Amino acid sequence: MSRPENRPLSQPLTRPLSGVRVLDFSTLLPGPMCTLLLAEAGAEVIKIERPGQGDEMRTYAPSFGSDSVNFGLLNRAKKSIVLDLKQASGRDQAIALVRDADILVEQFRAGVMQRLGLGYDTLSVIHPGLIYCSISGFGQDGPLAQVAAHDLNYLAEAGMLSLTAGHDGAPGLPPALIADLAGGAYPAMMNILLALRQRDSTGRGCHLDIAMADHLFPLMYWGLGNGFSSGSWPTPGSDLVTGASPRYQVYQTLDGQYLACAPLEEKFWIQFLDCIGAPELRDDTTDPAATVKAIAAIIATRAQDDWLAQFHGRDVCVAPVRSLEEAVKHPHFQHRGLFSAKLDDGSGRQIPALPVPIDRQFRGDAPAQGYPSLGEDQKLFESS
């Protein structure tokens, strides 16, 4: 295969998924995030919503325009139609849409689409080239396939939540929906792109079984390695990145702020100790807990800004623990243009659109875009 010529980043490319049509039967977060990524790369995404309420995410607070800001961020630049899949007419129209689609994304519990007559086995006969992506918590088969669950439950079942326990032994609540995004939306997008590539060669689509809980395990690669190779399975606070090492800690400063300190490698560790005036703590393996206590006592003697000035210009892997508001306003992320794209609420009010991990050269320079009101594109597809 010939390699495309190099292009400067400033030269826009054709959006790589232009001309690709996606039918999105999903709601809430994992599926809509996946199809948002597809839409940002140029795909036409048609959101199939149920009559009345539509996607449950529309009702979340706070609002932005006529619906939730959460819904708006996740469904920017998509189309919306309403189909009652419990009725034959709704299913017939869905099948008609499938004939001209490239990708179908669904997020029902395993077996629901089959019972509706919209399973992969049925639709692949009608459209052999269809890429059918099923996103679920535990996959399309197995003992947990029919268990109702959310992100926190997947983290618990996969062993990740246990590693968040603090000094009191109680697992903490992660601040991000890890399973939905890292276990669901991103693997779904990745596998859809692989399936498109495969279809270019074979002409046939496939059924993708994306289980959010399954895809949490690669995120704990180090724990799997320790456990499988030596039988030393991680426990809370027992390993390098779970609190056992003084080189990977959050320390509180005099003014009640915090520093995230991660001088893992020896070269960073030596500079870190030099900055805090404690070179005698270099041996951190004999009694790691005592070293943590000693460093905590030193960091607690000065304010956060004082320490940041002390660390400035040194390779020590130290960062202030910022609020989300502070992070959004930071000059670095502003310079990177993360929040340059806009979401429009339909009345002219705009807020930054959701930054997505699609390179800017593949997204183009689209102006501010809105999100669809429930069923607003119905007439475009009534004759499909």
Closest CA to 118 of 100, 91, 145: 91
Closest CA to 269 of 248, 252, 239: 248
What is the CB neighbour count within 10 angstroms for residue 126? 11
DSSP 9-59: TTSPPPPTTTT-EEEE---SSHHHHHHHHHHHTT-EEEEEE-TTT-SGGGG
| Terminal CA-CA length for the chain | 37
Cα dist from 288 to 76, 278, 284, 331, whole Å: 49, 15, 5, 36
Cα dist from 352 to 34, 116, 344, 355, 368, whole Å: 19, 38, 9, 8, 9
Write out the H or E segment, with its range, that includes residue 210. Answer: strand 206-211
What is the CB neighbour count within 10 angstroms for residue 379? 9
Length of the chain: 384
> Which residues are identified as catalytic?
150, 180
Report the relative pairing of strands 206-211 and 249-252 from DSSP bridges: unpaired
User: Which residues lie below 8 Å from residue 195, measured CB to CB, with a gap of 6+?
Assistant: 131, 133, 205, 206, 208
- Point out which residues pair with 383 in neighbouring strands: none
Closest CA to 105 of 204, 184, 203, 198: 184
